[in-house]
Amino acid sequence: MDDETWTSDEFGASHQGRVGVLLADGSTPKPVYFDGSSSTGHYVAHWSVYDGGTWPDRARAAVMRAECVCGWAGAVHTVDWAGFGDLPFREAGTEDADRCMNDWDGHIADVARRTIPLPPELETLLESVPAPRSRTWPATRRSPR
Ligand SMILES: [Zn+2]
């Protein structure tokens, strides 16, 4: 299960969102390493892996929130573990994940409102500038063999 990210047609890689989780102490958990059935394992940082389970040992999410590569983060949604009953986190948490996506949609709408189209001369000038290296989430990196 790879990380899910959201992009908008308008802003592409400059605003790429995802569901982030924070632990009870406010820290961000590391990606969880899963041994694959093949020879290669896999790091996963998808929100649903942070259910406090074992094999492999993993942290339990306290809150979920939308995050964007631009540095923006949405409001936190407290994970209601008691309310989930027997449902696995990947099912019970989808409602909060959807809320996070809505928060990110709101962020994109804000960005769109603040974005003023560039005059064509300036746009041409900017296109001649080399693009900065884009920031990527470490979530779907494969481990070296
Ligand atoms: Zn953004």
How many domains are contained in the chain? 1
Q: How far is the CA of 17 from the centre of ligand 1 (A)?
A: 7
CA of 56 to the centre of ligand 1 (A): 32
Cα(50) to ligand 1 centroid in Å equals 24
Q: Is residue 144 situated within a structural domain?
A: no
End-to-end CA distance of the chain: 19
Q: Is residue 134 part of a domain?
A: no
3-state helix, strand, coil in the chain (%, to 5): 30, 20, 50
In-domain check, residue 31: yes
Q: Is residue 132 domain-resident?
A: no
Examine residue 133 and state whether it is found in any structural domain, yes or no.
no
Tell me the pTM.
Answer: 0.75
Structural domain includes residue 135: no
Please tell me the distance between residue 82's alpha carbon and the centre of ligand 1 in angstroms: 32
Whole-number Å distance, alpha carbon 100 to ligand 1 midpoint, is 13
Q: Could you read off the pLDDT tens digit of each residue along the chain, which spans 145 residues? A: 567 899 999 899 999 999 999 999 999 999 999 887 766 788 899 999 999 999 889 999 999 999 999 999 999 999 999 999 999 999 999 999 999 999 999 999 999 999 887 788 888 888 887 766 665 555 555 555 5
Give the structural domain span for 114.
6-122
* CA 40 to centroid of ligand 1, rounded, Å: 33
Domain for residue 117, yes or no?
yes
Å from CA of 79 to ligand 1 middle: 23
Domain assignment present for residue 90? The answer is: yes
